């Protein structure tokens, strides 16, 4: 059974490399013809813990004329890119299994447009940095967690997906997709914008007293809006900070590269939910406006949207 991956950013390349190493045939669909050509000719280069791995993959530029025959399609594009690829997903949805791996929860509104298919939601806790069009560094070991959004698949499908897992790329099935996404959303809402605004690594949030206070206040607002239990979730956020202590968050890397961030799908989603519930979230509003200010300043300097 083969797999197609829509999106060849850091996470798309990371998943492609690990799946191919596990014996799965992989086709990457990219935003540009240039990247597709490079991947097709040179393959994917993955670096982890000082070790280099090279795998061959198929690659094509994503166009509406493309017809995917693979039964499983993993969608790794960022939240704000989903609307662009949705027409392609809709015309390739019949009988397919989609695995959506995005930050935040804003993408859920798009899923109702896909019919006659099975949908799995996923989160990636690994750290990954894209070096160029076909090279990625696995910067932090975590887990890939997935949960069925629609009805559960058959036993052979579950077994096939679980066979992708390795000690360096563990995969876990979860029973509650909302809790899974909400946990990751809280971590993203707390870690990503603070590290991006203050230009620090993830671990600095735990070692700087003032950033730690901001982190706690932002955390309290977020879990209140999402109606989640605090202590267990706080331990989860702290664990992610420790596991990725030396890493830069994806939002910080986006700011540094003058790319659009996913702040709308993360903090923007929290703000909208807070308005619906009549909850005041001043810390969340402040960090949202701060990141949007970065985006507006960089846009005037010639920001380019990309993976």
**In-domain check, residue 303:** no
* CA–CA dist 11, 100 (Å, integer): 12
Regarding whether 184 and 165 lie in a shared domain, the answer is no
Q: Give pLDDT tens digits for 76-101.
A: 998 888 889 999 999 989 999 999 99
The answer to whether the pTM exceeds 0.85 is yes
Q: Which of 20, 78, 96, 184 is catalytic?
A: 184
Please write the tens of the pLDDT for every residue from 218-275. Answer: 999 999 999 998 888 999 899 989 988 888 898 999 999 898 999 998 999 999 999 9
Please identify, among 122, 146, 175, the residue that sits at the C-terminal boundary of a domain.
Answer: 175
Residues 85 and 146 in one domain: yes
Domains: count for the chain: 2
Q: Which domain holds residue 291?
A: 180-298
pLDDT digits (tens, 9 = 90+) for 141-167: 888 999 999 877 777 788 889 889 888
Q: Is residue 307 part of a domain?
A: no
306 domain residue, yes or no: no
Name 303's Cβ contacts closer than 8 Å, sequence gap at least 6: 258, 259, 260, 295
Q: Decide which of 154, 175, 196 is a domain's last residue.
A: 175
Provide the pairing of β-strand 118-124 with 97-101: parallel
Task: Compute the distance between CA of residue 206 and CA of residue 200 in angstroms, rounded to an integer.
Answer: 11
Predicted pLDDT at 303: 47
Annotated catalytic, 33?
no
Segment 160-203, tens digit of pLDDT = 898 898 888 999 999 899 999 999 999 999 999 999 999 999 99
How far does CA 294 lie from the centroid of its chain? Answer: 21
HSE (CB half, 13 Å, CA atoms) of 81? 21
């Amino acid at each position: 059974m083969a797999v197609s991956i829509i999106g060849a950013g850091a996470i798309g390349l990371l998943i492609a490399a690990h799946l191919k190493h596990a014996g799965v045939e992989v086709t990457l669909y990219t935003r540009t013809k240039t990247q597709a050509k490079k991947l097709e000719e040179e393959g994917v280069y993955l670096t982890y813990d000082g070790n280099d791995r090279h795998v061959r993959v198929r690659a094509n530029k994503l166009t509406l004329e493309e017809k995917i025959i693979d039964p499983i399609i993993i969608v790794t594009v960022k939240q704000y890119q989903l609307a662009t690829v949705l027409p392609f997903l809709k015309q390739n949805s019949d009988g397919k299994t989609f695995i959506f791996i995005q930050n935040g929860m804003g993408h859920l509104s798009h899923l109702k447009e896909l019919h006659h298919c099975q949908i799995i939601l996923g989160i990636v806790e690994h750290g990954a940095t894209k070096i160029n069009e076909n090279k990625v560094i696995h910067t932090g070991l975590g887990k890939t967690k997935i949960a069925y959004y629609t009805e559960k698949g058959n036993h052979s499908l579950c077994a096939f997906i679980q066979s992708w897992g390795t000690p360096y790329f563990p995969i876990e099935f979860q029973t509650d997709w909302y809790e899974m996404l909400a946990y990751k959303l809280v971590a993203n809402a707390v870690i990503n914008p603070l590290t991006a605004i203050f230009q620090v690594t993830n671990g600095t949030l735990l070692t700087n007293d003032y950033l730690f206070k901001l982190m706690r206040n932002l955390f309290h607002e977020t879990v209140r809006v999402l109606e989640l239990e605090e202590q267990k979730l706080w331990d989860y956020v702290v664990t992610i900070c420790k596991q990725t202590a030396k890493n830069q968050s994806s939002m910080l890397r986006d700011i540094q590269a003058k790319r659009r961030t996913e702040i709308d799908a993360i903090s923007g989603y929290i703000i909208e939910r807070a308005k619906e519930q009549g909850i005041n979230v001043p810390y969340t509003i402040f960090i949202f406006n701060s990141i949007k200010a970065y985006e507006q300043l960089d846009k005037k300097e010639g920001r380019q949207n990309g993976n």
